[in-house]
Structure 1
Amino acid sequence: MCQGIDTTATAISVPDREILPTNVKALHYDLTLEPNFQDFTYDGTVVIDVDVKEESDFISLNILELQILSTKITQDGTEITSSPKTTYDESTQTSTFKFDKKLKAGSGAIITIEFKGELNDKLAGFYRSSYKHPDGTIHYLATTQMEPTDARRAFPCFDEPALKSEFTVTLIADKEHVCLSNMDEASQKEVDSKITGGKRKAVKFNKTPLMSTYLVAFIIGELNVIETNNFRVPIRVFTPPSSDIEHGRFSLELAAKTLEFYEKAFDSKYPLPKMDMVAIPDFAGGAMENWGLVTYRSVDLLLDESTSGAKLKQRVAEVVQHELAHQWFGNLVTMDFWDGLWLNEGFATWMSWYSCNKFFPEWKIWESYVVEDLASALALDSLRSSHPIEVPIKRADEVNEIFDAISYSKGSAVIRMLSSYLGEDIFMEGIRRYIKKHQYGNTQTQDLWAALASASGKPVEEIMSIWTKKVGYPILTVTELPEKNAIKVKQNRFLRTGDVKPEEDDTIYPVFLEMLTKNGIDKKATLNKREDEFKLENLDFFKLNADQTCIYRTAYTPERLAKLGEAAKQNLLSVPDRAGLLADAASLSASGHQKTSGTLELVKGFNTDSEFLVWDQMIATVASIRATWKFEKQETRDALKKFTLNLVSNKAHEMGWVFAPDEGHLSSQFKALLFGAAGGAGDEKIISAAQDMFKKFAAGDRKAIHPNLRFSVYSLALKHGGEHEFDVLLNEFKTSPDADERNTALRTLGRTTQPELIKRVIALPLQGDVKNQDIYLPLLGLRGEVAGTEAAWSWLRDNWEEIVKVCPPGLSLLGSVVKICVSDFTTQEQLDRVIAFFQDKDKTGYKMSLEQSYDSIRTKIGWLQRDRADVEAFLQKEGLLSGSKL
């Protein structure tokens, strides 16, 4: 144990939480593994040094899908047992070894377990990943994914984040294979292999610092490498031979700069002797922050700047900086149980945007944050089936369901709100104190609040605990009081379904109003009660939530909303303010707080705006309305499509779709956004341009389609084409050496509108060509049209048992698939049949996603009932409905 370690934190009290007994504590694991790539099994031995806390005749630890070959327990050099009585609890994934002679308290003991495991295809634990070698054959590598609770699937262990230990790992492999683990290599020697009968190498790695089991990692396989010494310790990027190693160059150099930046920002040295980042062909998430050995889905690490668009470059940068932030926030200082997941993910998300903004100021990260992360958080948290940031966890199989926009996006939004309230410099000083006090230890949320309070002198916990412990957020209703030069602000729970019950509206949030007037931003005004009055100099101009820093929706009168629209045209509102007005309007329409016609009028009024992110929100707002009206009368849907065309077409032609060699990051995305939106709404010139580009591409001109337009060109060509275009894209998916190009092709195949081709799309997910990690990608394209939405649902219903096998309920993928196939419905009849289908199903691992899908459908049902006639009247007025005056 290191000097100064704070280990006093205890888990949040959750009745009946399933955790291991505390009679022994693991101090050190000596783990040896040897994989067999012929039958996809591996042999393992783990020797665990434990401290005996209480006199005991049993030891319990976590084991999942492992075959235990032998177990031996010794103390003070004496064997306690070599064949303990073993019981296994499948529900808690716990094995208990019971023996006749008791272990003495206050002394050490050693558990030695020999076991056999499967190099599974579940993307969890110690698993296999396949890739096509340049010689055309399929090769495999062995890799790991332990978070949240799958270290127990790789080796017997005490698999809880607070049970930190040291680890010494030895990997036995063929001589041509690269072996990696969290630490640097200590030694290598030739050994006799139990598996091959011949000679193999045994690579032993240096002992790790104290760390949680979910961060342990090891990889064995053929890997190419590039390295930089631009940081204090070596940084390397590895890829299998199927990828171009030079595509890791951007991430490699960014990692060197980022680690140096974080060392200064946190006033804490990166404590490991190296940093490795590895592209894994099969990977369930985006990336995993294993200490010193970060693993990535290939598309989130590798970047070919000559063939990749601006959006992908930003995504890669954010993911790399997110994972490297975890090396301190999560790895060095770790939440004590999974209730505190947000401490890891919320902060790492915020930190990735904070560092991206420092490195790439021209990307205007905090503006896109409002349209992306904040929007994602507010959307999910406006559902009744959302959950608090700190959600009580009882069982291991519940953990995966909270890896969502609440833990990541709302968590980061709370951090952003707090950093604005305290000031960035004071906030970062609090973070430095937190890391220094708790390094190598475990924490709860209140430990972070205490560190920030000590740095700021403000009652941080009193202000912030409600935001993490309570579900949801408020809507602020603004009433103007001209006779007092004041406004009255009232807060209530906001639900997108618009049916808040009195018992759901009992939380009073401490709301930072962040009031914008012509005199600047008032950061002191706070609403600490249900309603209050706030004096202004005058009511000529004001807006709450300046720069959309805080977590709430704002409802103004129609007259004030119109004035704010005019203020936007006079450049009195920032880009986040303008985007926020539009986002609030869309959400308030969905929930019944204002009419959808008013939102459409507001969107139309922004058509002279010059900023990409405002247009991004405008198009997203109209898209949300069109998605809700997807199953309505064809003439209404056509009219909304024409509204979109009228909105975006002129701007798309003004911007054009030719990219200069030095095209700016935001300008590139702006052109791509408008091209896709206008083409999707029926702009004939753009459709023709897309078809022409695709024709040249299909004929062999790989440069005919600019990377920024690839998705839109593929989509438009397929939507307005047929079998030929489908086959070209299917071949691109199967043969392209670039992961981004393959994924784009797979995502767009569902854009077809032809029934026979739709059948081919829904056959793809369960075919061998589509990796399990990508099972959802072909389904995404189906969501845009009625036939595709119904086809995705039919696929889910008809293949449920096979889908559950491919996407085990304990992993997060199943919830994503369910949501994609269910949440786009809009009628009560559709909701009823979905509920009936799932009535008798085991909902383990996806219950929350299913409930959120139900809430999403209910939102659309209510929205249509309220505003169906309102929207038709607006479209009639605009001359867009058939038979109306043009």
Structure 2
Amino acid sequence: MCLRGADVDHATAHQGREVLPANVIPTNYDLTLEPNFSDFTFDGKVTIDLKVTEDSKEISVNVIDIDVHSAHVSSSGVSAQEAIKTSYNDELQRVTFQFKDTIPAGSETKLTIKFKGTLNDKMAGFYRSSYKAEDGSTQYLATSQMEPTDARRAFPCFDEPALKANFDVTLISDEKLTCLSNMDVKEEKKVEGGKKAVTFNKSPPMSTYLLAFIVGDLRYIETNEFRLPVRVYATPGNEHHGKFSLDLAAKTLKFYEETFDSPFPLPKMDMVAIPDFSAGAMENWGLITYRTVDLLFDENTSGAATKQRVAEVVQHELAHQWFGNLVTMDFWDGLWLNEGFATWMSWYSCNIFYPEWRVWDGYVTDNLQRALGLDSLRSSHPIEVPVKKASEINQIFDAISYSKGSCVIRMISKWLGEDVFMEGIRRYLKKHAYKNTETGDLWAALSEASGKDVGKVMDIWTKKVGHPVLSVTEDGKKVHVKQNRFLRTADVKPEEDETLYPVFLGLREKSGINTELTLNGRETTIEIQDPEFYKLNANHTGIYRTSYSPERLTKLGEAAKNGLLSVEDRAGMVADAGALAASGYQKTSGVLSLLKGFDTEEDFVVWDEISSRLATIRGAWLFESEDVKKALKHFNKDLISPIAHKIGWDIKPTDDHVLQQLKALAFGSAGMSGDEQVTKAALEMFEKFAAGDKKAINSNLRGSVYAIALINGGEKEYEIILNEYRNAKNADERNTALRALGRSKNPNCIKKSLDLALNGEVKEQDIYLPISALRTHAAGTEALWQWAQDNWDTIVKKLPPGLSMLGSVVQIVTSGFCSDEKAKEIKDFFATKDCKGFEMGLAQSLDSITAKAGWIRRDKDDVEKWLKEQKYLS
């Protein structure tokens, strides 16, 4: 079987890494590339300056899918020599050149390699991206994506983050095309064949995964609001939609320079919208690339949630220019140093620029829940996860490295105080600029700034898998707190419960918050002022769940109504209760009663979490009887409809950012749970829209209106939305249409959605969009899994295992199930497959199915009894 555990002893992390021999070290690359759009190949030549550390007759470099034509070395004191033997190792993704004469240690040596590669369509290395021009023709651009280990697809190199070097890049292209790289242009000259050679200035020392180059017909807009040029590039006709991101980037660069006390060290900042892109964005130094929908924003056609997403992504990538690019982790087990900090920093800076968005309120329902959700599975992994092979690296770009990593940063910043924390960050960046670090280097800088032993407290959080649940019992004013490992599957073994986390208790009472209380052992007893009101984990800055008695939960529900709890407290309390019910700590009926008590709640973030928890319950009960499913749907409607009717769904330009999102959420949830008034309004909007009134649906409501039309309609509605995908003017509108299609339960429409994913009409980057919503209903979930089995070879061919997207698709096609029988069926299917590159995602999906199966076994009767008591079920 291809599944593996992830809780590896960190002490063994450095052993067995598949890294290049250390006999030579690169110091400079002189790289020339010439893409050919007629046959989608590129010619290249690279000369690498090497520091030779020991006498050598062999030099190994990383390559994959590159044809090496020739290689020779020239060293001081030794005649230039061609390689006498070239050996490829596909498993290790490297080529070794053997030379007749010894290359002496300490000599000044240059290795020159001529090669040819493919402008692939896999969104990795140096690849091609296509788009429809304004005249309807298909046009191409050549672009790059190197992280984590795909620079080796673009040119032979030493493709490890610790092997930093300078880069001199030259791109040869048609004279009419734009050429971009990390640095500004040094010179441009005409060369034979009506082409030009664009040479860029030498880069600072940097890792190969941050190198970038683009050749294509691009247009840009520019701002001078920062001390250096800042531009947004896009395909012709789309560049003006970059205005929001452009203005934000200029402000953010200035803010980061001041906050970090560290000038941005490159001569310019370019941000480019790429039509085909596997991730959301990539922080290439000075040349950030983005999925189009995450950079370009049209106020007229996109809603508040999209605007916030674009702001978050832009600020995340700009934070990387310091944290990741200037200072880089020494190997991929330190990925969290890049991603955890950049994630936290994007929220921090977003709050500075847009305080009215109240992003920290939403952090609890976003990053914290994402982190706790994945980390509650046995198949989770530590933040600092040992990785040894290239195939393992892509799999850790997940909610642990990003969200849990950022939650640890948030926890530290609250513990030390933000001013002290930022002083530590400034020291870290100054000391390690242009170098590589490990987590201990960050702890050292924060310890120096704060006078506290940060490593002693925080090492456990980064080196151990999982998080605790605090079980709370009461005796008058005495509160007893005990920590244990929390697993969603409710089957913690003694050996999995040995880690004792340092837990910041954050005791909230009427008099304020006590931030000094810490649980360092298994259990402790604390004294409270008033037994009527207290709450642990104030504002949910700690990474743990809290399990109270049903009586205390009822009191906390009352406290929420009486204004004693913050938005974060209320949302976090709902999240904890939902997660604890799912894992057997509490009864699901208790959570349903708790949610019923939130009928006077008016905050978007809390409703977002309530809706999420209801969706989780309904998802786990997806294959139960129709009567029970209808009863849960009816309860959902009764809970959300009052707020939907109270605030309405006429979204005005004067509505603030958060109110727009609340109106959209309440409208969508009420409509999809059968509210007649909302459904009628949605279908009327859809009818006008279908008749040609493109403004009939507010951009914030578009996805919900489509979903309601599909749930209540048939093939006619499906074709209208499919046509919108095909003809909409921008990526956000197209994606909204594509994402909705899976809501249809019509068998013909289900088949069409599945066909869309593989018939070439939908880009590989978007394969998941037409199929994701199929998991919202039983027929779609079954069809999705059957489709995956029938088309497995095609899926693997389209999404090679070395790329992260295959793992995402595997999770989508399997995770909707809720029974042990289906878990076994899925295991059996993959037992005969090569799971390299997605084994972690598959294990997490199977854990999730097992957890849901256990939940239903425990609470099926409990839920039915509650629904009968509440008159939802006869």
Bin the TM-score by the shorter chain.
Answer: over 0.9
The question of 1:230 aligning with 2:222 is answered no
CA–CA separation in structure 2 for the residues paired with 1:772 and 1:395: 25
1:244-296 residue CA offsets vs partner (Å, 9 max, x unmatched): 21100000000000000000000000000000000000000000000000000
1:355-391 residue CA offsets vs partner (Å, 9 max, x unmatched): 0000000000101110111110000000000000000
The corresponding residue for 2:390 is 396
Contact 1:41 1:116 in 2 (8 A): yes
Q: 2:685 aligns with which of 693, 701, 720?
A: 693
Secondary structure of 1:123's partner? coil
Q: How far did 1:80 drift?
A: 4.1
The corresponding residue for 1:270 is 264
Structure-2 change in CA distance of 1:13 and 1:633 (3 Å)? closer
Q: How far did 1:68 drift?
A: 0.3
CA–CA separation in structure 1 for the residues paired with 2:95 and 2:641: 64
Contact 1:80 1:101 in 2 (8 A): no
The corresponding residue for 1:456 is 450
* Equivalent residue pairs, number: 865
The corresponding residue for 1:259 is 253
Contact 2:715 2:748 in 1 (8 A): no
Q: Which moved more, 1:200-209 or 1:734-743?
A: 734-743
CA–CA separation in structure 1 for the residues paired with 2:464 and 2:688: 55
Q: 2:348 aligns with which of 324, 349, 354?
A: 354
The corresponding residue for 1:102 is 102
The corresponding residue for 1:7 is none
CA–CA separation in structure 2 for the residues paired with 1:56 and 1:875: 76
CA–CA separation in structure 2 for the residues paired with 1:431 and 1:445: 12
The corresponding residue for 1:500 is 492
Contact 2:711 2:743 in 1 (8 A): yes
The question of 1:315 aligning with 2:293 is answered no
The question of 1:201 aligning with 2:196 is answered yes
Structure 2 stretches of 5 or more lacking a match?
1-9
The corresponding residue for 1:873 is 865
The corresponding residue for 1:53 is 53
Structure-2 change in CA distance of 1:187 and 1:12 (3 Å)? farther
1:789-827 residue CA offsets vs partner (Å, 9 max, x unmatched): 111111111000000011100000000000011011011
Contact 2:83 2:98 in 1 (8 A): no
1:127-167 residue CA offsets vs partner (Å, 9 max, x unmatched): 00000000110000000000000000000000000000000
The corresponding residue for 2:436 is 442
Amino acid at match of 1:31: L
Contact 2:13 2:387 in 1 (8 A): no
The question of 1:212 aligning with 2:204 is answered no
Contact 1:734 1:769 in 2 (8 A): no
Secondary structure of 1:594's partner? coil
CA–CA separation in structure 1 for the residues paired with 2:416 and 2:478: 26
Residues 464-479 of structure 1: pairs in structure 2 closer than 5 A: 464-479=458-473
Structure-2 change in CA distance of 1:172 and 1:809 (3 Å)? same
Residues 725-874 of structure 1: pairs in structure 2 closer than 5 A: 725-874=717-866
Q: 1:519 aligns with which of 495, 507, 511?
A: 511
CA–CA separation in structure 2 for the residues paired with 1:244 and 1:223: 9
The question of 1:604 aligning with 2:599 is answered no
Amino acid at match of 1:423: G
1:197-244 residue CA offsets vs partner (Å, 9 max, x unmatched): x22000000000000000000000000110001001000000012x52
Q: 1:625 aligns with which of 606, 610, 617?
A: 617
Q: How far did 1:538 drift?
A: 3.2
RMSD: 1.0
Q: How far did 1:91 drift?
A: 1.0
Q: How far did 1:515 drift?
A: 0.7
Secondary structure of 1:708's partner? coil
Contact 2:78 2:103 in 1 (8 A): no
Task: Report the TM-score when normalising by structure 1.
Answer: 0.97
Residues 130-145 of structure 1: pairs in structure 2 closer than 5 A: 130-145=130-145
CA–CA separation in structure 1 for the residues paired with 2:121 and 2:432: 37
Contact 1:486 1:538 in 2 (8 A): no
The question of 1:247 aligning with 2:241 is answered yes
Contact 1:40 1:119 in 2 (8 A): yes
The corresponding residue for 1:553 is 545
Q: How far did 1:309 drift?
A: 0.3
Secondary structure of 1:219's partner? strand
Contact 1:130 1:140 in 2 (8 A): yes
Q: Which moved more, 1:403-412 or 1:760-769?
A: 760-769
Contact 2:395 2:840 in 1 (8 A): yes
CA–CA separation in structure 2 for the residues paired with 1:211 and 1:836: 44
Secondary structure of 2:186's partner? strand
Residues 518-537 of structure 1: pairs in structure 2 closer than 5 A: 518-537=510-529
CA–CA separation in structure 2 for the residues paired with 1:132 and 1:12: 50
Amino acid at match of 1:857: I
CA–CA separation in structure 1 for the residues paired with 2:33 and 2:11: 32
The question of 1:705 aligning with 2:729 is answered no
Amino acid at match of 2:550: P
CA–CA separation in structure 2 for the residues paired with 1:273 and 1:12: 41
CA–CA separation in structure 1 for the residues paired with 2:552 and 2:720: 52
Secondary structure of 2:127's partner? strand
The corresponding residue for 2:406 is 412
Q: 2:645 aligns with which of 623, 633, 653?
A: 653
Q: Percent identity among equivalent residues? A: 61
Q: How far did 1:77 drift?
A: 6.8
Amino acid at match of 2:722: L
Residues 183-194 of structure 1: pairs in structure 2 closer than 5 A: 183-192=183-192
Q: How far did 1:683 drift?
A: 0.8
Contact 1:64 1:152 in 2 (8 A): yes
Amino acid at match of 1:29: Y
CA–CA separation in structure 1 for the residues paired with 2:474 and 2:716: 60
Q: Which moved more, 1:822-831 or 1:334-343?
A: 822-831
The corresponding residue for 1:337 is 331
CA–CA separation in structure 1 for the residues paired with 2:11 and 2:208: 17
Q: Which moved more, 1:718-727 or 1:141-150?
A: 718-727
Task: Report the TM-score when normalising by structure 2.
Answer: 0.98
CA–CA separation in structure 1 for the residues paired with 2:586 and 2:577: 8
Secondary structure of 1:543's partner? coil
Contact 2:83 2:100 in 1 (8 A): no
CA–CA separation in structure 2 for the residues paired with 1:84 and 1:746: 54
Q: How far did 1:723 drift?
A: 1.7
CA–CA separation in structure 1 for the residues paired with 2:861 and 2:675: 27
The corresponding residue for 2:39 is 39
Amino acid at match of 1:30: D
Secondary structure of 1:458's partner? coil
Q: How far did 1:78 drift?
A: 4.1
The question of 1:281 aligning with 2:305 is answered no
Secondary structure of 1:110's partner? strand
Contact 1:627 1:784 in 2 (8 A): yes
The question of 1:541 aligning with 2:533 is answered yes
1:31-64 residue CA offsets vs partner (Å, 9 max, x unmatched): 0000100000000000000011111111111011
Structure 1 stretches of 5 or more lacking a match?
1-9, 193-197
CA–CA separation in structure 1 for the residues paired with 2:847 and 2:204: 45
Contact 1:11 1:444 in 2 (8 A): no
1:625-670 residue CA offsets vs partner (Å, 9 max, x unmatched): 0000010011000000000011011111111010122111000000
CA–CA separation in structure 2 for the residues paired with 1:493 and 1:174: 60
The question of 1:724 aligning with 2:712 is answered no
CA–CA separation in structure 1 for the residues paired with 2:148 and 2:292: 21
Amino acid at match of 2:65: E
Secondary structure of 1:47's partner? strand
Q: How far did 1:833 drift?
A: 1.1
Contact 1:166 1:210 in 2 (8 A): yes
CA–CA separation in structure 1 for the residues paired with 2:57 and 2:408: 46
Q: 2:417 aligns with which of 423, 433, 437?
A: 423
Secondary structure of 2:639's partner? helix
